[in-house]
Amino acid sequence: MKESLSQNSAIYLDAVTKVYPTAKGDFYAVREVSLDVQPGEFYSLLGSSGSGKTTTLRLIGGFEIPEYGEVYIGGEVVTESRPFQRNVHTVFQDYALFPHLTVAENVAYPLTVAGVNRSDIAPRLQEALKLVQIPDLGDRRPSQLSGGQRQRVALARALINRPQVLLLDEPLSALDAQIREAVRQELRQLQRQTGITFVYVTHDQEEALALSDRIAVMHSGRVEQVGPPSEIYENPASLFVAQFIGQANFLTGAVVAAAGAATPTVTVAVNGRLIQAIALNHDVPVVGATATLMIRPERISLSASPADNQVGGKIVDVTYIGQRVESLIDTPVGLMKVVQLCRSPAIGESVTLGWQRDRCILLPGFADPTLSPK
């Protein structure tokens, strides 16, 4: 299994660990991270600050060498080879442009240092500038560009060498929200158009969900879950992932019954109410065990039509967010958040909340109460 993965993957990390010596002893920035990135894939490393994303990217790029584990690029072991010996290009967070060079000189730089002929450089330079939609800015200097334009220059410089793999470390974080969303779409198109494998680091879950074929969620130097965006969102493998991605309601109670084979149905008593859930990603808990249930706010209906789970409640707060309406509802199982598209309930109104058991995901462990809806 391992052999074929390392052979067919664009990138394959096999139990890679990076340890930094610090005054307080060894610090494990990345712990036994294994992942496979397929050729042509848009693969994101998503996690909060300090979770080990940049270190993982630097291990792939060759800027760090792991204490344990192996790094494969294109089926070859590159664990200890230098950055320039790897067919990857890194776009750093701050773009790292040369201020004294023009845009054209910046973009052509990798070809210039490689000794490529001037006449061969010109068409590739134009192609790269066109690809990132700044064909006319070649004569400017970085100081004469907007943040979005600088980002494009950094991308063009990365693309001019036609790398198999592009490593991008929070490339949009320096842009303001509106531009970020526009550039985000272009980046996705660019990736599809060129077929280059992207490994994309971000702390922004929305960005990761919108862009990625697959996401690896990182936490404390480990990979918590790998999957397509919809799977990460709908079927989080752990409480951490459920809390980190999107909004969710968490209910905690004791398991009173567990049955079924493929997707076992579990009944949990929450404040004396029996709630039905399914255990998707892990073993069925024993009767009497404590369990946490997760329900996404948009999976709860207020229509009073039949549902596996129903509780009554009273609306305590309503927030309008453009097309959506968020309601906080006081119920016997606790405060619940519900998101709807159209109905606008009034504060004080009595409602019935309903949700299906296959939208009620049982997770191991306790929810962090500070992350419950307020």
Binding region for ligand ADP (CB under 6 A): 20, 22, 27, 29, 47, 49-55
For ligand ADP, give the closer residue by CB, 28 or 109: 28
Q: Which of 200, 97, 115 is nearest to 157 (CA)?
A: 97
27 contact, one of ligand ADP, Mg ion, none, CB 5-8 Å limit per kind: ligand ADP
Q: Which is nearer to Mg ion, 172 or 311 (CB)?
A: 172
Q: Are 46 and 17 in contact (CB under 8 A)?
A: no
Binding site partner of 299, from ligand ADP, Mg ion, none, Cβ cut-off 5-8 A by kind: none
Place of tokens 């294994």: 34
219 or 357: CB nearest Mg ion:
219
Helix (H, G, I), strand (E, B) or coil at 201: strand
Smallest gap, in angstroms, from Cβ of residue 59 to ligand ADP? 9
If contact means CB under 5 to 8 A according to the sort of partner, which of ligand ADP, Mg ion, none does residue 84 touch?
A: none
Q: What's the closest the beta carbon of residue 284 comes to Mg ion, in angstroms? A: 38
List Cβ<8 Å contacts ≥24 apart for 73-81: 73/10, 73/11, 73/164, 73/165, 74/10, 74/164, 75/6, 75/7, 75/8, 75/9
What angle is formed at CA 217 by the lines to CA 211 and CA 218, rounded to 5 degrees? 130
Residue 54 in the binding site for Mg ion (CB under 5 A): yes
Q: Which one of Mg ion, ligand ADP, none is in contact with 138 (Cβ closer than 5 to 8 A by kind)?
A: none
Partner whose binding site includes residue 277, from Mg ion, ligand ADP, none (CB under 5 to 8 Å by kind) = none
The binder of 243, among Mg ion, ligand ADP, none, by C-beta within 5 to 8 A per type, is none
Crossing angle of the two packed helices 118-131 and 103-113, in degrees rounded to 10? 130
55 touches which of Mg ion, ligand ADP, none (CB within 5 to 8 A by kind)? ligand ADP
Tokens of 22: 């610090």
To Mg ion, the closest distance from the beta carbon of 222 in angstroms equals 16
Minimal distance, residue 20 CB to ligand ADP, in Å: 3
Taking CB under 5 A as the binding criterion, the range among 51-59, 147-155, 251-259, 365-373 that sits at the site for Mg ion is 51-59
- The strand ranges marked E within 59-164 are 68-73, 76-77, 88-91
Which of the choices Mg ion, ligand ADP, none does residue 20 contact, using the CB cut-off of 5 to 8 A by kind? ligand ADP
Number of residues near Mg ion (by CB under 5 A)? 1
Select from 34-42, 52-60, 100-108, 113-121 the region that touches Mg ion (CB under 5 A). 52-60
**Closest CB to ligand ADP among 238 and 352?**
238
The torsion angles phi and psi of 217, rounded to 5 degrees, stand at -85, 120
Least Cβ distance, residue 37 to Mg ion (angstroms): 18
Residue from 351, 330, 334 nearest 268 by CA: 334
Residue 145 sits at φ, ψ, to 5 deg, of: -120, 155
Whole-number minimum distance, CB 21 to ligand ADP, in Å?
Answer: 8
- Comparison of 93 and 352: residue with beta carbon closer to ligand ADP: 93
Residues 6 or more apart whose CB falls under 8 angstroms from that of 209 comprise 215, 229, 232, 233, 245
The C-alpha atoms of residue 111 and residue 359 are separated, in whole angstroms, by 53
- Tokens describing residue 46: 């998503």
What is the binding site for Mg ion (CB under 5 A)? 54
